[in-house]
Amino acid sequence: MSWRSGDFNRAQISSVFHPFVPAHAADSLHEVDLQKLWDRGKRLLLLDVDNTLVQWRKEDFPGEILSWLEQAKALGFQICIVSNTRRVERLTRIAATLGVSTVRGRFKPSRQMFAKALDLFDRGPQEAIMIGDQLLTDVLGANRAGIEAIWVRKMDAHEFGGTRINRMMENLLRGPIYQALVTPVDETPAAPDLERAKPLAERTIIHQIVKFCVVGATSFVIDAGLTYLFVKVLPWHGGLLSDTLGNWLRGAAPGIFKYAKTPDAAATPILTGAAALVAMFNSFVWNRSWTFEVRGKEEQLGQLRRFYAVSIIGFVMNDLITSGIYNRFRHMKNALLLGKFVAAFVVAVWNFIGQRFYAFRH
């Protein structure tokens, strides 16, 4: 979905989304109309750093940004950076270079930093405006603190890893949030509207979900089959692979494997992990070329890396959810099965979103 800027009216959409709706979206910080903000009674500018003021990890400010800040100071605005960065020295340098204040504190969307900044300048929330590039931190945090937010387009594609996960959520929110756009400055409705006009069964996303489920089923068969093969069938040095490996593991690291009552219990986590990695590769190949129809080889390694990151997190989630539900409801007869079902569903949704918006993003 392409970037759109303009004023938002949250009354146009469901209240579920209101916490994420900015007052305005701008192509860049220097496109924000300072005079208009001043006329509306805003006196305190709260600014995000990375990808709003300057590129992530960089400290060379674009000329337009510097002159925008000079204009803000000339109008009489108080300016304060709100940042939870761990690179305090960089933040201090940036604040000194720009001649602005900073507050640090808990991660946005916590209200803490916003409250600190209002305190510092003795301003009410109506007098402040937050400007940042992320819906889930800058905009949500400001809205929670009762401060209007302006959402700016991120300066650059380079971002912190955690931010990229936020962006996946942000991409999901953009559809509903753009419905609240009242005075679009630049609109490119052609592609999404064409897609929306199609009957449900012909939409790309439905096709992708169906294919994703088919691929998931083949990976499940591979996973279960290989696990069975590794644990129960394959021989190795005069015994079963699982027993031989388990005996060796218990001998090599008795401390770690003391929980294992039998040799194969020591080897099972490793063998199931190996089966899962092979099954993940099956999913990678088919979801890449068939489900999400990714063409070209240039990006392949990056896709594989991102795919495995998503899948391994999913694998861990699967374990945690299954055992969590099992432990909570262990008095019920089918607690383990219930845990497996819920985990399978949650992880399938996680993997689909992770692959579509992250691993195989364009």
Binding site for Mg ion (CB under 5 A): 48, 50-51, 133
CB 61 → Mg ion: shortest distance, Å? 15
CB 306 → Mg ion: shortest distance, Å? 21
Q: How far, rounded to the nearest angstrom, does the alpha carbon of residue 147 sit from its chain's CA centroid?
A: 24
Question: Whose Cβ is closer to Mg ion: residue 68's or residue 292's?
Answer: 68
Inter-residue long-range contacts of 157-164, CB under 8 Å, 24+ positions, other chains counted: 158/55, 158/56, 158/57, 159/50, 159/51, 159/56, 160/50, 160/56, 163/50, 163/134, 164/358
Nearest CA-CA partner of 178 in 356, 30, 29, 1:
1
Question: Whose Cβ is closer to Mg ion: residue 48's or residue 223's?
Answer: 48
* CA distances in angstroms from 313 to 9, 61, 123, 216, listed in the order given: 37, 36, 43, 16
CB 184 → Mg ion: shortest distance, Å? 23
Name the 3-class secondary structure at 313: helix
The string over 43-74, giving b where at least 16 C-beta atoms fall within 10 Å of a residue's C-beta and e elsewhere, is: bbbbbbbbbbbbbeeeeebeeebeebbeebee
Question: Whose Cβ is closer to Mg ion: residue 48's or residue 148's?
Answer: 48
CB 152 → Mg ion: shortest distance, Å? 9
CB 51 → Mg ion: shortest distance, Å? 4
Q: How far apart (Å, rounded) are the C-alpha atoms in residues 183 and 8? A: 7
Question: Whose Cβ is closer to Mg ion: residue 132's or residue 216's?
Answer: 132
Burial class (CB in 10 A: 0-12, 13-18, 19+), 292: buried
Question: Whose Cβ is closer to Mg ion: residue 108's or residue 288's?
Answer: 108
Report the residue closest to Mg ion, judged by CB. Answer: 50
Q: How far apart (Å, rounded) are the C-alpha atoms in residues 347 and 351? A: 6
CB 358 → Mg ion: shortest distance, Å? 18
Token reading at 50 = 């990375």
What is the number of alpha carbons within 13 Å of residue 171 lying toward its C-beta?
15
* CA distances in angstroms from 83 to 86, 101, 135, 333, listed in the order given: 9, 11, 15, 50
CB 192 → Mg ion: shortest distance, Å? 25
Question: Whose Cβ is closer to Mg ion: residue 114's or residue 212's?
Answer: 114
Question: Whose Cβ is closer to Mg ion: residue 44's or residue 152's?
Answer: 152
∠ CA 137-167-93, nearest 5°, is 55
CB 226 → Mg ion: shortest distance, Å? 43
Residue 94 identity: I
CB 73 → Mg ion: shortest distance, Å? 22
Question: Whose Cβ is closer to Mg ion: residue 52's or residue 219's?
Answer: 52
Question: Whose Cβ is closer to Mg ion: residue 29's or residue 180's?
Answer: 29
In DSSP terms, 59 is beta-bridged to none
